[in-house]
Structures are given as C-alpha cells and as structure tokens.
Structure 1
C-alpha cells in the first residue's frame, strides 16, 4: 500500500492581495476535495496577517498528489497566486513518522 503524503504550503501574498488569493483558493479547495486520492484539503488565513495563506492537504499516495498537480483547478490557482506572491511559495511534502 502507498504511503499517504501530507502537504503544507505557505503563501505570503503582496500587501492587499490576500482576498484575491483566498477567492482562488476556495475554488481549488472545493474541486480538490472531489479528487480521487484526496483525504483532506483545506486553506487557512492567518488572522492577524490577511495576506498570508496556508494550505494543508493529505493525499493517499504520491501518485494522487502528482495527478492533483496536473488538474485545471490547481493550475488555475497557481496562475492566480503565483503573481500575487511576495516571496517564493514554500511547499513541504511530508511523511508521517510512525
């Protein structure tokens, strides 16, 4: 059986662009949750830093994550948040320590 992967991505948006990024994330969250292999997918905003977002995902396998990264909704999200990012997007792909 494949090992699940946790993904934690942090996006620091340019000042004042957090709302636009959040709108794009809502669409991606909704569509990602429908994907085969998606166990969990949620986006969060830091209350005192509205231009900072964190996405937390859990995938059944590396193959499921790879398929997700090819979807139109994920590519659309990157197309929106990429230009809004004030710094490189930090993505951690993690295996649980058991």
Structure 2
C-alpha cells in the first residue's frame, strides 16, 4: 500500500470554493479501483490549511488516478485557489 499526504494553503476568500471542489474529488476518487481510502481534513488552528490523505493499493492505482477526469478537473480548478505550492509526500507502508 502507498499513502499520499498532500497539504495545501488556500487564499482566505477561496476556502469554500476549495471545500466544494474537494468534496467532489473525494467522492469520485473513493470509487476508483485501487483506492483504499481518500480523506480531506481541515486544520483546526488555521481555516486556510487543508490536508488530503489518500491510501492506494499500489503505484499503478495512483498513476491511473492522476489521469482521471475528476482529478485533472480538480487540479485545473483548484490551482488558482492555492496560496502557495502544495506539500506532497508519498509513503510506503512498512507494517
């Protein structure tokens, strides 16, 4: 299994826009073959910070996810909402 943790900061006036886009992305991604879980978190201390935590069967599932219309659409629409670059880390489960 592989886990992706993607952290982002959003422009203060675009928070609701990102939440709406993320809800659609999460719903569609959870139905993909190879997806174990896909969650979206709001930072309790800063309302402009969010984290996606995704668990995938393998790299092939991630690669396929990255080509889906719902993921590509999210990237295109969410990009202008971000206040800076995303912090994306990929993990491999050991135990």
**TM-score (normalizing by structure 1):** 0.91
Match of 2:80 in 1: 83
> Which residue does 1:40 correspond to in 2?
37
| Contact 1:16-1:51 at 8 Å conserved across structures | no
Question: Post-superposition shift, 1:33?
Answer: 0.4
- Counterpart-to-counterpart distance in 2, 1:47 and 1:27: 22
> TM-score, normalising length from structure 2?
0.94
Deviation at 1:47, TM superposition (A): 2.5
Equivalence map 1:1-98=2 (5 Å): 4-98=1-95
Structure ranking higher in helix proportion: 2
Instruction: Structure 2: give runs of 5+ residues left out of the alignment.
Output: none
C-alpha contact 1:5 1:95 (8 A) present in aligned 2: yes
Looking at structure 2, the residues matched to 81 and 11 of structure 1 have their Cα atoms a distance apart, in angstroms, of: 11
